[in-house]
Every structure is written in structure tokens, then in C-alpha cells.
């Protein structure tokens, strides 16, 4: 690969990152920041030596198979790689990298914000002020639920799950979690966390459930209609991971009928479309996929992308190479 490879970036990145990429590489940017359709992506993949996609770009096996022979690296601007058929890329001799670790604290902050917002009815309170429904303090108006002493069940105890647990513990929540395997003993002691081998049993006993696992074929609709019905009607569910992990249709029905007390959702199953029924519900706090949206986080992501590309161009193994075991 040449010292200044042709790099095509599919979305608008922070100015500092774009400037540095232009300095280092033969870079083509997306100044309009409009998501590429499949035809535009196919053209980019025919021309690029390095492609820098984001979560909004679906690189399936068909697109990857039609890529130009010169495409040797897909440097994903994002932590997850569920938008890329990694196995198809590797079969074509294309290396895939991502940007892990930089969004942990930001996503945990937003998850904790939703855990606070939903039971305490923060958004309802704001709307009450905006619509002139506030007529002074009342002992029985806008009552929510206390967090202290409640059970929080974390689905996925990786970096983000652990960062969330540290925050939640400070608010007096009891920490429970389900994971492929228990965390190290010292982490479990620090967090005073209880491991549940059975997701079903944990869900049935929690007051709040937070989804913090990656989206993979194995976690698609992991929180299925059956599992949602196991939760207590007084329970809340929060999702800042991926919308596809929850059966959104079943969740919406339960929220409409009182089968669940409420939900905080930063991600949706059919993004960017949001089910209109969710928008009408008062017991739901909805955010536009902004859990990782901090300036610091985006800059850190961009720096990791640049390091991955530079390492690859220099003939070294990129530090954030995605291998099949990770997918």
C-alpha cells in the first residue's frame, strides 16, 4: 500500500480529525454528512484503498465482494462492528479495525442519566413546565420512584457495564449482572455485584434492567417477548447498546398496557425510524442515539482510526484489528 493511501470517509468527522487525515493520507471526505446509500458505498469501495465507515453504513457480503482489489482496510469509526460483515471482509483479505474503549465513560454516563430520568419522571416534569401545567408544589403530584435500594440488572458486564455499575452503586442501587462468564473476583468485590448465570431468573427479579451487551447474531432479540413478560410490571428497562437486542414491538405493547413501568431508550430497532407509539407514551424517555455523543469521545475515536490506518500503512498490525473471535 502506498505511503499516502486513498482514504474515503463516509460521514462528517470532527474538523481536527479531518484535517489530520488530509495531512497524512489522500483523503476524500463527506462534507454534506449525508449517509451513503448502497450504490454510493459500492462506488467508494471500488475506489478506496482504505474505507472509514460508521455505524450508519451497512457493509454486507454483497458490497464487500464487489469491492475493488485495492481495498485492504476498513477502519470503522465506532466501537461495534455489527454494521460490517467481518467474515466476508477477512475472506477477501480486507483487514477490519474499530475504536474500542473510548466511549465507555460517555455511554455509562448517558445510561445512568436514563436510569435517573425514567423512574423520577424528569422529562414529564419538563413537559409540564413547557405546557403550563405547573401550579405550585403538591404532595401528591408528579410522584416517581426512589432509586436507593432498588435492584439493577446489567445485561453485559464489559467495559460499559462495569462503568455503569460503579455509577449505580454510588446511587445506592444493588448491582446484579448477567454475562457470558463472571467478572474477575476483585471486580465483583469492588462493585458488590451478584452474578446470574440465568438471564431469565435475573430479569424476573430486577427493578431496573440495563442493556449493555454488543449486538451480534446471538444477541438479536435477546430480550425477547417471552423475557420481557418475565419482568415485574413495576420494572424499568434502559437500552443504550443496540435497538435490535430488544424485541421493540413486544416492548411497546407492554409499555402501552402497563406490563412494564417505563423505558429509557437511546437506540431503536429500525433506526432512524422511531415507532410513533413510543413517541406518544408518557412513561418512556427517548433519545436520538446520543449515548456516545461527546466532543472528547469523537476526537478519541478519530485518533484511533488514524492510528489504525497509519499502523497498517507502515506494515504493522493495527492495534484495534477485529478478529473472528470478537464477532
Active site residue 282: no
| E strand residue ranges, the chain | 6-9, 26-28, 50-52, 73-75, 95-97, 151-155, 174-178, 193-195, 208-211, 236-239, 262-265, 284-286
- For position 3, what pLDDT does the model report? 83
Q: Please identify which residue in the block is written with the cell numbers 415507532.
A: 275
- For position 248, what pLDDT does the model report? 98
- What does the alpha-carbon distance between residue 106 and residue 89 come to, in Å, rounded to a whole number? 30
β-sheet bridge partners, residue 51 = 8, 74
- For position 316, what pLDDT does the model report? 96
Active-site entry in 145, 289, 303, 321: 289
- For position 1, what pLDDT does the model report? 81
Active site residue 289: yes
> 120 in helix, strand or coil?
coil
- For position 324, what pLDDT does the model report? 72
The domains of the chain, with CATH numbers, are 6-102+294-326 (3.40.50.720), 104-286 (3.40.50.720)
Q: Which residues of the chain have pLDDT under 70?
A: 325-327
Active-site entry in 121, 176, 178, 242: 242
- Residue 274: HSE in the Cβ half-sphere, 13 Å Cα cutoff: 15
Active-site entry in 151, 271, 277, 321: 271
In terms of residues, how long is the chain? 327
- For position 325, what pLDDT does the model report? 62
DSSP state of 217: G
Contact residues for 90 (Cβ-Cβ < 8 A; gap 6+): 96, 324
Sign of the Cα pseudo-torsion (198, 201, 207, 211, in order) = positive
Query: What is the pLDDT of the chain when averaged over all its residues?
Result: 96
Amino acid at each position: 500500500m502506498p505511503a499516502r493511501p486513498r482514504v474515503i470517509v463516509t460521514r462528517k468527522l470532527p474538523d481536527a480529525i479531518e484535517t489530520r487525515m488530509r495531512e497524512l493520507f489522500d483523503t476524500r471526505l463527506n462534507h454534506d454528512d449525508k449517509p451513503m446509500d448502497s450504490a454510493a458505498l459500492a462506488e467508494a469501495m471500488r475506489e478506496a484503498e482504505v474505507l472509514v465507515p460508521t455505524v450508519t453504513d451497512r457493509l454486507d457480503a454483497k458490497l464487500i465482494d464487489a469491492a475493488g482489489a485495492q481495498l485492504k482496510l476498513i477502519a470503522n469509526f465506532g466501537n461495534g462492528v455489527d454494521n460490517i460483515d467481518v467474515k466476508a471482509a477477512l475472506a477477501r483479505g480486507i483487514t477490519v479495525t474499530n475504536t474500542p474503549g473510548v466511549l465507555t465513560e460517555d455511554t455509562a454516563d448517558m445510561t445512568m442519566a436514563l436510569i435517573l430520568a425514567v423512574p423520577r419522571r424528569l422529562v414529564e416534569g419538563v413537559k409540564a413546565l413547557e405546557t403550563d401545567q405547573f401550579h405550585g408544589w403538591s404532595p401528591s403530584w408528579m410522584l416517581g420512584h426512589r432509586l436507593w435500594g432498588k435492584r439493577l440488572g446489567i445485561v453485559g458486564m464489559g467495559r460499559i457495564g462495569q462503568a455503569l455499575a460503579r455509577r449505580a452503586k454510588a446511587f445506592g442501587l444493588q448491582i446484579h449482572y448477567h454475562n457470558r462468564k463472571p467478572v474477575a473476583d476483585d471486580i465483583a468485590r469492588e462493585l458488590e455485584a451478584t452474578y446470574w448465570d440465568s438471564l431469565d431468573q435475573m430479569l424476573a427479579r430486577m427493578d431496573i434492567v440495563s442493556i449493555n451487551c454488543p449486538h451480534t447474531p446471538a444477541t438479536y432479540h435477546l430480550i425477547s417477548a417471552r423475557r420481557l413478560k418475565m419482568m415485574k410490571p413495576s420494572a424499568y428497562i434502559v437500552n443504550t447498546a443496540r435497538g435490535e437486542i430488544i424485541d421493540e414491538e413486544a416492548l411497546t405493547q407492554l409499555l402501552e398496557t402497563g406490563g412494564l413501568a417505563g423505558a429509557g431508550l437511546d437506540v431503536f430497532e429500525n433506526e432512524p425510524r422511531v415507532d410513533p407509539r413510543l413517541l406518544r407514551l408518557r412513561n418512556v424517555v427517548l433519545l436520538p442515539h446520543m449515548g456516545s455523543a461527546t466532543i472528547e469521545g469523537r476526537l478519541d475515536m478519530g485518533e484511533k482510526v488514524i492510528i489504525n490506518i497509519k499502523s497498517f500503512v507502515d506494515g504493522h498490525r493495527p492495534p484495534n484489528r477485529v478478529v473472528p473471535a470478537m464477532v
